[in-house]
Amino acid sequence: MPAAVVAIVFALLARVVRAVSDGGALAGVVIAFLLISAGGLAGFVPLLVAFLLTLVATRWRGDRKRNIGVAEHRGGRRASQVLANLGATGLCAAAAVIFPRHAGTLMVGGMAALAEAAADTVSSEIGQAVCAQPRLILGFEPAPAGTNGAMSLEGTLAGCIAASIVAWSSSFSNILPLRWSPVVALAGTAGMFLDSILGAALENPGWLGNDSVNFVSTVFAADLALMVMLVAGNTGR
């Protein structure tokens, strides 16, 4: 019952501040409920941290973003966008509920996916807010702000910091041991770079959509973190 109440209140608040659409709020309820079910009320902390990071980054210098045509839609993120960014985290949390013996390992994967989602959004939003000339990750040619696969030093550093904050908050809330925070942060950062590569190589030509790129990148981050844990021989809590 507390999990459902917290998840619903969180989704309603996200809707009130227009961070998500009605469908996005419903998707957020599901993700929040799964995280709380897997990690207790503390499982909600990293999700809240990621939400606040992305909200602040998205709203910062909104006038500039609107002037250059890259501001997020005023209606907030749709359900497909929420699931693309948080679906991998939700799947890891659901698996942790079903297989409690491996909850610690699975939640590391979930937190890595969450770190990637935060890093990707923060890097894009900060880069668009402050960088005058981003460059494509493939070839390093100058590109207009908002171009898929375009990165900036400012945005990249902000994304790395966001991934680290999510990883640290996961340890602070006892979702994962502190020693695995660097793995989560690095996996999230690696996923952020993969997102840019996929954006430049596959999204720009129209072979993949933005939601697909985001989902693949979060899954990659989760898989990378899980692979490190398995190689290290740590399969339990």
What tens digit of pLDDT does each residue of 133-167 get?
788 999 888 888 778 898 999 999 999 999 999 99
Are 50 and 166 in contact, with CB atoms under 8 Å apart?
yes
Write down the pLDDT at residue 68.
Answer: 66
Question: Is pLDDT above 60 for 211?
Answer: yes
Write down the pLDDT at residue 69.
Answer: 66
Strand partners, 135: 142, 151
Write down the pLDDT at residue 237.
Answer: 45
Are 109 and 222 in contact, with CB atoms under 8 Å apart?
yes
Write down the pLDDT at residue 71.
Answer: 64
* Residue 87 identity (one-letter amino acid): G
- Extents of the domains making up the chain: 46-231
CA dihedral for 104, 88, 223, 53, sign (positive or negative): negative
pLDDT-based confidence at 236, cuts 50/70/90? very low
The angle subtended at Cα 180 by Cα 178 and Cα 184, nearest 5°, is 120
Predicted confidence (pLDDT) per residue in 96-134, tens digit = 999 999 999 999 999 999 999 999 999 999 988 887 678
Encode 54-76 in three state secondary structure. HHHHHHCCHHHHHHCCCCCCCCC
Which tokens belong to 218? 């979060």
C-alpha torsion 148→151→156→158, nearest 10: -70
